[in-house]
Structure 1
Amino acid sequence: MIQYSVYSRITKNNDDSKKYCREVKRIIPPCGSVRLLQITEKQYTKMQILLGEKTPTENLLDDKDIMLI
């Protein structure tokens, strides 16, 4: 397993995702492990909840690209 911390960022489109990715690359530390996974809204909606339930904030999402960091 590689997860220690997971952060997510919702972006309006692919151009915004690329811009945010460049910003992350600019500020990452020189050592360690940082990975970025970009998924579409369609892929995000296929996520299965194994425990718990959606938060009120998740129910407000509309058609946007989602970037998990």
Structure 2
Amino acid sequence: MAMPQMPKWYDDDDQIVSCTEKVKVMTKNLNELYQMAQDAFEDALLMGCSEKQLHEYLRDLMARPKKPHQKTS
């Protein structure tokens, strides 16, 4: 299965992120993340791990990143 199409990115104020370089970095990072997840998933299946458990773990893993800092007013 192919990676989903990239959405238009918005900031916290619902303004579109239009900087070409920022969008390029985001696209590159998410493509790399997808490929790493795909590789890990395939390796785990080859080792006999449960596909259902892998999907559950990857969902949990992606829900964990937190914003490292808050904007100051």
Q: TM-score range by the shorter chain?
A: 0.3 to 0.5
Greater percentage in strand = 1
**Over alpha carbons, which structure has the higher Rg?**
2
- What TM-score does the superposition give when structure 2 sets the normalisation length? 0.32
User: With structure 1 as the length reference, what TM-score do the two structures score?
Assistant: 0.34
**Higher relative contact order, structure no. (Cα contacts within 8 Å, ≥ 6 residues apart):** 1
Q: Which has the higher helix share?
A: 2
